[in-house]
Copies of this chain bind each other. A is one copy, B any other.
């Protein structure tokens, strides 16, 4: 099993038994998410920007952020922490103290840098679209060179990463199981709602077949995992 080597930076400290450092655990969570929270530092002040991201091997990509200006002056990149978290449920215990949350989360560390290469940039932006909407890119009006120039693409090699998850029922104090108190889990999930047509859509244009995967009620994390896995297999 290929794994990241955790240092003090990425080692899970609180509830460390929930931590994992193997690629499989880390990638499974990254591939199920759409929005990452990117942490960076300017003049000692931390900033956390939410933004859509994607993964290619051990590299993460995302669009330009407010750190872009800073990145332009730092040729070696800047240290960032990319965190992805998925909320899976509320854990209802018999005491307030043992209430918890079921979740999957990854913290990935590395140095962010701007991607200048036009070929890499174009390929990655297409990949970004295909990951969410498989089969979609070729149906769109192609990007023009002005748009490519206007888009800042940022990449980060994952130097270290940790995954942390909690699943399942509450873990109450042994003597509390005898109490007449309800306990269990309220699952929380991110799902697709009923699709909305652009009010300015030309009459007679039906939803294309490749977008019907966004069915009302479909789990969004499952859709992302599925299309990401297919793209990875196609690239092998």
Please list the residues of chain A having a beta carbon within 8 angstroms of any beta carbon in chain B: 9, 13-14, 34-35, 37-41, 44-50, 52, 64-66, 79-83, 85, 87, 89-90, 92-97, 99, 101, 103, 105, 107, 109, 125-126, 129, 132-133, 137, 139-143, 147, 150-151, 169-170, 172, 176-202, 205-208, 211, 214, 220
Closest-CB distance, A42 to chain B (whole angstroms): 9
A199 — which chain B residues lie within 8 A by C-beta?
169
Find out whether the CB atom of B190 lies under 8 angstroms from the CB atom of A186: no
Checking B35, B52, B66, B207 against A182 with a beta-carbon cut-off of 8 angstroms, the contacting residue is B207
Checking B9, B14, B66 against A65 with a beta-carbon cut-off of 8 angstroms, the contacting residue is B14
What number of copies of this chain does the assembly contain?
Answer: 2
Chain B CB count within 10 A is highest, among A39, A103, A200, A206, for A39
8 tightest CB-CB pairs across the interface, nearest first? A187-B193, A50-B85, A39-B48, A37-B37, A39-B46, A48-B83, A183-B198, A97-B147
Find out whether the CB atom of A195 lies under 8 angstroms from the CB atom of B191: no
Find out whether the CB atom of A38 lies under 8 angstroms from the CB atom of B45: no
